[in-house]
Amino acid sequence: MTFNTTLDSIKTYEAGKPIELVVREFGIPENEIVKLASNENPLGASPKAIEAIIQNACNAHLYPDDSMFALKKALSQFYKVQSNEIIIGSGSDQIIEFCIHAKANQKSKILMAKTTFAMYEVYAKAVGAEVIRTASHQHNLKEFLESYQQHKPEIIFLCIPNNPLGECLDSKETFDFLKQVDENCLIVIDGAYQEYAKAKDSTKAINPKTLIEIFPNAIYLGTFSKAYGLGGMRIGYGIAQQEIIQALLKLRPPFNLTTLSLAAALEALKDQEHIQKSLQNNLMQMPSFEGFAKEKGFLYTPSYTNFITYYFESPLDSTQIADYLLQRGMIIRNLASYGLNAIRITLGTHEQNKKFFTLFEQYLDER
Residue from the set 126, 132, 205, 283 that interacts with a second copy by CB under 8 A? 126
Q: How far is the CB of 184 from a second copy (least distance, A)?
A: 6
Decide: is 105 part of the binding site for a second copy (CB under 8 A): yes
Q: How many CB atoms lie within 10 A of CB 227?
A: 27
Please give the residues from 174 up to 213 whose contact with a second copy meets the rule CB under 8 A: 183-184, 186
- By DSSP bridging, strand 86-89 and strand 236-240 are antiparallel
| Sole window of 5-13, 162-170, 293-301, 326-334 interacting with a second copy (rule: CB under 8 A) | 5-13
Q: Is 35 helix (H, G, I), strand (E, B) or coil?
A: strand
Give the count of alpha carbons within 13 A of 208, CB side only: 26
Q: Are residues 194 and 62 in contact, defined by beta-carbon separation less than 8 angstroms?
A: no
Strand (E) or helix (H) holding 190: strand 186-190
Which of 252/355 has CB closer to a second copy? 252
Which of 41/303 has CB closer to a second copy? 41
Which of 186/300 has CB closer to a second copy? 186
- Closest by Cα among 276, 301, 298 to 168: 301
Angle at 188 between CA 182 and CA 194, to 5 degrees: 135
Which positions ≥6 away from 58 have C-beta within 8 Å?
A: none
Which of 136/276 has CB closer to a second copy? 276
Q: How far is the CB of 208 from a second copy (least distance, A)?
A: 18
Q: How many residues does the chain have?
A: 367
Q: Is 177 helix (H, G, I), strand (E, B) or coil?
A: helix
Please give the residues from 37 up to 96 whose contact with a second copy meets the rule CB under 8 A: 38, 40-41, 44-45, 49-50, 53-54, 57-67, 69-70, 90-91, 93-94
Decide: is 336 part of the binding site for a second copy (CB under 8 A): no
At residue 47, what is the residue type? Answer: P
Site string for a second copy, 249-268 (x = CB under 8 A): xxxxxxxxxxxxx--x----
Decide: is 25 part of the binding site for a second copy (CB under 8 A): no
Q: Is the peptide bond before 287 cis (omega within 30 degrees of 0)?
A: no
Distance CA(116)–CA(169), nearest Å, equals: 13
DSSP symbol at 279? H
Decide: is 284 part of the binding site for a second copy (CB under 8 A): no
| Sole window of 164-172, 244-252, 318-326, 348-356 interacting with a second copy (rule: CB under 8 A) | 244-252
Residue from the set 231, 271, 317, 324 that interacts with a second copy by CB under 8 A? 231
| Sole window of 167-175, 203-211, 239-247, 318-326 interacting with a second copy (rule: CB under 8 A) | 239-247
Q: How far is the CB of 221 from a second copy (least distance, A)?
A: 14
Residue from the set 101, 209, 270, 277 that interacts with a second copy by CB under 8 A? 101
Distance CA(154)–CA(140), nearest Å, equals: 19
